[in-house]
Structure formats: C-alpha cells, structure tokens
Chains A and B, each alone.
Chain A
Amino acid sequence: GAVVSQHPSWVICKSGTSVKIECRSLDFQATTMFWYRQFPKQSLMLMATSNEGSKATYEQGVEKDKFLINHASLTLSTLTVTSAHPEDSSFYICSARDRAGYGYTFGSGTRLTVV
C-alpha cells in the first residue's frame, strides 16, 4: 500500500535554530500534503495544506513565516520550523493524499524538542 516516509523521527535542537522535517511519498504521487501538530494528550491540529507547485494554505493562527512549507515535487514536502522555541516542541505528522484521491496516508511523525 501507499507509504509516506517522514524524517527525522525525533530531533532535539537549541532555541533559535531551524529544523527541517521531510515527508516523502514512496510509491505514489502526492498531489496534496497536510501537516499536523499534536500536543500531548490532544488531537491532531491541521497546520497547513500544500499542493505541489503552489503556496501552502495555512490554518488560522498558524504563523506561515515560522512554519515554512515547501512542496516542490509530487513526492516530497518539507516543513521547516524557523527560529524554534521551547513552545514549538511537539509531535509533527504529515499526511499525503494520493493522486487518485482515494485516501490519506500518514507519516510516522517527528518528535521535536526545543531546549
């Protein structure tokens, strides 16, 4: 079945640095990629939606200058957390919709800890 590979699975970084998270669709072309953030003991909150070759659409309250999303190809989308702060520590998960639109496949998630 469809697989989305997400890397890294966990990362620890210092305050003020930037972190890039990658999601790759391995055996299908992802026309749309979704980026979610999950706080402890809470549900997934959609941060942004990106379509290949166009700008991402951010949900209300999400800072687009802080969470940079790039979807340059049908198999790769990246989320860069810029100038990270401890409050950015969270679990980030990507999800891709396949070209036929049949379903959503999730990456394994990235645990970001900012110290």
Chain B
Amino acid sequence: GDSVTQMEGPVTLSEEACLTINCTYTATGYPSLFWYVQYPGEGLQLLLKATKADDKGSNKGFEATYRKETTSFHLEKGSVQVSDSAVYFCALSERGYQKVTFGTGTKLQVIP
C-alpha cells in the first residue's frame, strides 16, 4: 500500500537558517504530493503541492520538487522565521482515489 516517510523531529533551527525536511514515498501509481502545515492548536493547512514528476510546488518561501526517480518530495526554505514554527506533514494522494496518506509529521521549532 501507499506510505509516506518523513524525517523525525523535532527540528530546531535559529532564525534565518536553511531548512530541509526529507520526505520519501511509496505508491503504486502516479500520486499527487502535498505538504501540509499545522500551527499550534489549529487544523491542517495546505502549504504546497505538486501533481506530476519534476513539478515544483512553492508557497510562502517554501519549495518542494516532485522527484519520481528518487520518490522524494523534500521541503526546503532558505531562511526560516520564528513564525514558521509548526508541524509539517508530507502526504500523497493517488489519482482516481480519494484517500490521502500522511507521514508522521515533523515538528519545526525556530528560535530567535
């Protein structure tokens, strides 16, 4: 079945540091890939997505590129802010199916 593996946290960075959160997936077809963000006490918000190989999703300075050859969708940001502190979930959804499979989430803490 489908699965998503992402690096365990927590990840603690200083403000303006570079961020990379690794995510790899296993899927039988050609899934769409997502990154969701969950701020403390809130629900999930879609951060970015990519629907086919080599697509790059981007939003709020975050980027992730759909790499089919390595089955990866790593999240990157060049300079993090304190306000980026949250839990980040990598996820996939197979075309034609409705279910979204989530990774376990990576907590990011950015300190001033």
Contacts and interface: CB of A to CB of B under 8 A. Distances in A.
Interface of A: 6, 32, 34, 41-44, 46, 49, 93, 95, 97, 103-109
Interface string B34-46: 0010000011111
Contacts of B93: 104
Q: Is the interface of B mostly helix, strand, loop or mixed?
A: strand
Interface in B66-112: 89, 93, 98-100, 102-105
Contact of B98 (A42, A49, A108): A49
A112 B14 CA distance: 34
Nearest to A105: B46
A43 B102 contact: yes
9 contacts: A42-B104, A43-B105, A49-B98, A93-B44, A95-B100, A103-B46, A104-B46, A107-B43, A109-B43
B43 A32 contact: no
Given A49-B98, A93-B43, 15 more contacts: A32-B98, A41-B105, A42-B105, A43-B102, A43-B103, A43-B104, A46-B100, A49-B99, A95-B100, A103-B46, A104-B100, A106-B46, A108-B43, A109-B42, A109-B43
Contact of B43 (A41, A97, A103, A106): A106
Contacts of A44: 44, 89, 102
Contacts of B43: 6, 93, 106-109
A45 B36 CA distance: 15
Nearest to B34: A104
Contacts of B103: 43
A107 B43 CA distance: 6
A106 B104 contact: no
A34 B102 CA distance: 13
B105 A97 contact: no
Nearest to B107: A41
Nearest to A104: B100
